[in-house]
Amino acid sequence: MKTRSCFCLFQPGAAWAALAALLLVAGVTSCGTQAKLRKMQKDGPKARLELADDRSILDEMIKNPAVARDTLKIKDAEGREFLVMKAIRDTESGEMVAHETIDAAVVTARFRNVPEKQGKVDLQFQVLVPASMQDSKWQLRFYPDMYILDDVVGLEPVMITGNGYRKAQLKGYQQYNKFVSKIVNDTTRFIDLRNLEIFLKRNIPQVYAFKSDSSYVSDEQFFSMFGVSEQEAVDHYTNMRAKRMNERRRSKVDRMYAKYVKSPIVTEGIRLDTVIVTRAGDFIYNYTQTINTRPRLRKVDIVLSGDIYEQDELIYTIPESQPLTFYISSVSAFADNTERYLTKVIERRAEANAEYNVEFAQNRSDIDLKLGNNASEIAKIKQNLSELIRNRTFDLDSIVVVSSASPEGKVSVNQKISAQRGTSISRYFNDYIRHYQDSLVNNGALEVDENGKLSRMKVSNVDIRSRSNGENWRMLDYLVISDPNLTEGQKSRYSELSTVSDPDRREGLMKAEKSYAYISGKLYPRLRSTGFNFYLHRKGMVKDTIQTTVIDSVYMAGVQALRDMDYNLAISCLQPYADFNTAVTYIALNRDANALLILEDMEKTAKVNYLLAIVYQRRGDYQKAVECYLNACDKDSSYIHRGKLDPEISALIRLYGLHQQQD
């Protein structure tokens, strides 16, 4: 029995397994990076997101030479003056001392307020990669993810490539390019053209004859005298083997790409791919992303995750970092949501007309009840008047009495008579109206006023005026034309005569006509009428326009667009109204001059003051801006906190150290 004693370093089985495992890991990661990985796994990754100090507006303000940074004279709502300056408490004396520098803020918060501008928000944060995570052989890929409402949006990744990694990538490309360069694209390279040509010339000469004779096109195949075709000749003189090899190479291109270029250099769809040549310390990248806001979007969370690659193999997944939160604030939050109704212009005035025939004796202007139909006519007039006085919808403003006369006699006389008659009528009915109204009031008449309440009837002064129409020729013309009893001839004669300019002469000529008797008898009385024009207004109306209960949909659409941050639509709807919401829209659109015009004329509530502060700050008038802001805070202390959300106000707060005691 032989016993073998050997000094075996490696026991079979387990040792081999260990070796294999070691080789496996070592095959991918080398010794140096393994230690690094282990340390990272133990300590946890240190790549994270940070917020930078946002000094953009502040720096702009400081550049402005008009800024007197130390003190501002402010007048408050009661008119008292006081000074505002940036001050700190001196530790020795305990007093507040002016402090001129503006410290760089150390940002440790994990959230920031960002203002929305023109429907977009700028998110700015820093991606911080410590030196301990970087290695020449590694490529770090960082994926910032954005959580918006219910969506997760992947932002463009940031890649940090180690120098060694990049060199390996390039080498892969080199090898691939070498392979590709071996592929011949010119197929004639494989054909022995010289010999082929000689052969063809010798044995298939028709080919050459055909080729040089361009007047004759044919697909004919040519053969040598022994039946060898041109194609056979070409095939014979082609280096088939080389050709096949080339074809094979060509078909392997894609596979070769995958084999050599294990980790392609990505240029599309990533934010940054930087190669770290020297280990210079922590790597900080300022990442800016502009997103469109949506309605109801109040905050955005950003989280960083990443991977570490070595030789294009994932060796470590960096777990998610702590999130950064951006709270979106918008000027559109100031929109006033009260409903606005359409206004309607209602005719205040109404008119009513009536015509009555009150007869007068010739050349007399007094009212004689016993004359003709006067009794009934006057009764009718009285009834009409009383109805109008009692009317619930309308109030009588005034009455104009128009009296006219028939053409008999001279024009001047008729004019005077008709004026007198008008005056007497108006006087008569004025008395009547007064008496009637008094009786109503005395008897406790009630009426319903504009608010729907029953109240005692109010007596308003009714104005009766008279106007004289003189000889009413126009009515006569009308009556003649429409009278069925006159013949055509008579009518045409009448029209002829009516062209005579002097009415007296006209009348004289008409008297000569046969129709005169009829006209004067039947038609003239109708000319001696009195027209009553009643001017009324709707009861209870003091103004001409009233609010309806119909909602002004254009205005409300504008307000909705403003809340949805669709500012262009909002301004197109709201511009004609020129009210508070219009001003808010102008501010959101950076049209500060327009906003100022509207806001300056408005009553200075806290809201209006606050918006004015923003507008003044943008225009560079910092003194007024601080004044308005402080006044707004006095009226409504919630604006102290709102001020931090708007960058214009927060810059003022920082520059002048406002509200430091409250912090």
Partner 1 sequence: MKKIMTTILLTLALSAGLSAQRVSISTNFADWAQLGTVNLALGVGISQHFSFQAGAKYNPWQFENEKQNMDLYIKQQCYHAGFRYWPWYVNSGWWLGLKGQYRKFSDTGIWRPAIEKVSAAGAGFSFGYDIMLGKHFDIELGAGVWGGKYLDYTLHKCKDCMEVRESGSRLFFGADDVIVSLVYIF
Q: Is residue 226 part of the contact set for partner 1 (CB under 8 A)? A: yes
Least separation in angstroms between residue 234's CB and partner 1 is 13
- Rounded Cα gap, residues 427 and 478, in angstroms: 30
**Residue 220 beta carbon to partner 1: minimum distance, rounded to whole angstroms:** 20
Minimum separation from the CB atom of position 313 to partner 1 (A):
55
Tell which one of 44, 65, 79, 227 touches partner 1 (CB under 8 A): 227
Query: Minimum distance between the CB of residue 229 and partner 1, rounded to whole angstroms?
Result: 11
Q: Is 550 in the site for partner 1 (CB under 8 A)?
A: no
- The set of residues, in sequence order, having a beta carbon less than 8 Å from that of 71 and lying 6+ positions away, is 83, 84, 85, 98
Indicate the residue among 228 and 541 with the shorter CB distance to partner 1: 228
CB of 204 to partner 1, least distance (A): 11
CB contact at 8 A, 477 and 498? yes
The encoded tokens of residue 389 equal 């006085």
Nearest approach, Cβ of residue 207 and partner 1 (Å): 13
Position 225 contacts partner 1 (CB under 8 A):
yes
Calculate ∠ Cα 496-501-503, nearest 5°. 95
- The structure tokens listed for 386 are 């009383």
For residue 93, how many other CB atoms are within 10 A of its CB? 8
Three-class SS string for 107-138? CCCCEEEEECECCEEEEEEEEEECHHHCCCCE
d(CA 614, CA 523): 80
Which one of residues 25, 96, 146, 228 is an interface residue with partner 1 (CB under 8 A)? 228
Give residue 204's identity as a one-letter amino acid code: I
Tell me the C-alpha distance between 617 and 612, whole Å: 8
Contact with partner 1 (CB under 8 A) among 26, 97, 198, 266:
198
Closer to partner 1 by CB, 212 or 218: give it.
212
Q: Least Å distance between CB 233 and partner 1?
A: 8
Q: Which of 195, 393, 398, 545 binds partner 1 (CB under 8 A)?
A: 195
C-beta closer to partner 1: residue 123 or 200: 200
Question: What's the min distance (Å) between Cβ of 267 and partner 1?
Answer: 54
234 binds partner 1 (CB under 8 A): no
Residue 397 burial (CB < 10 Å; 0-12/13-18/19+)? Answer: middle
Does 212 sit near partner 1 (CB under 8 A)? no
204 versus 584: smaller Cβ distance to partner 1: 204
SS3 assignment, position 403: strand
65 alpha-carbon distance from chain centroid: 35
Interface pick for partner 1 out of 124, 203, 325, 357 (rule CB under 8 A):
203
Binds partner 1 by CB under 8 A, chosen from 110, 201, 298, 514:
201
Closest separation in Å from C-beta 199 to partner 1: 6
Does 211 bind partner 1 (CB under 8 A)? Our answer is no
Q: Which stretch binds partner 1 (CB under 8 A): 46-54, 137-145, 199-207, 623-631?
A: 199-207
Q: CB-wise, 203 or 263, nearer to partner 1?
A: 203
- Does the footprint of partner 1 cover residue 202 (CB under 8 A)? yes
Nearer to partner 1 among residue 202 and residue 543 (C-beta): 202
Eight-class DSSP state of 93? T
Q: Does 221 bind partner 1 (CB under 8 A)?
A: no
**199, 534, 555, 586: which one contacts partner 1 (CB under 8 A)?**
199
Q: CA separation (Å) from 47 to 184, 303, 325, 370, 527?
A: 49, 11, 17, 116, 106
How many residues belong to the site for partner 1 (CB under 8 A)? 12
Nearest to 130 by CA among 279, 24, 29, 230: 279
| Least distance to partner 1, CB of residue 226, Å | 4
Q: Does 543 bind partner 1 (CB under 8 A)?
A: no
Q: How far is the CB of 241 from partner 1 (least distance, A)?
A: 16
Residue 324, helix vs strand vs coil? strand
Binder among 236, 243, 364, 416 for partner 1 (CB under 8 A)? 236
- Which H helix or E strand runs over 383? helix 374-390
Q: Are 138 and 310 in contact (CB under 8 A)?
A: yes
Q: How far is the CB of 28 from partner 1 (least distance, A)?
A: 56
Q: Tell the smallest beta-carbon distance from residue 239 to partner 1 (Å).
A: 14
Q: CB–CB of 86/99 below 8 Å?
A: yes
444 binds partner 1 (CB under 8 A): no
Nearer Cβ to partner 1, position 216 or 226?
Answer: 226
Q: Applying CB under 8 A, which part among 196-204, 437-445, 468-476, 506-514 lies near partner 1?
A: 196-204
Rg, the chain, Cα only: 52
* Residue 215: CB minimum distance to partner 1, A: 24
Helix crossing, 488-497 with 473-482: angle to 10°? 160
Residue 229 or 423: the one with the smaller Cβ distance to partner 1 is 229
Judged by CB under 8 A, does residue 619 bind partner 1? no
Q: Assign 191 to helix, strand or coil.
A: strand
| Token pair for 543 | 């103004």
- Based on the shown chain and the rule CB under 8 A, indicate whether residue 241 belongs to the binding site for partner 1: no
Rounded to whole angstroms, how far apart are CA atoms 143 and 555?
44
Q: Are 407 and 524 in contact (CB under 8 A)?
A: yes
- Nearer residue to partner 1 within complex by CB, 225 or 593: 225
Compute how many other C-beta atoms are within 10 angstroms of the C-beta atom of residue 431: 11
For partner 1, the closer CB: 231 or 575? 231
Nearest in space to 113 (alpha carbons), one of 645, 654, 648, 652: 645
Question: Nearest CA to 334 among 502, 126, 563?
Answer: 563
Q: Residue 10 or residue 208: which is nearer to partner 1 going by CB?
A: 208
Which residues are near partner 1 by CB under 8 A? 195, 198-199, 201-203, 224-228, 236
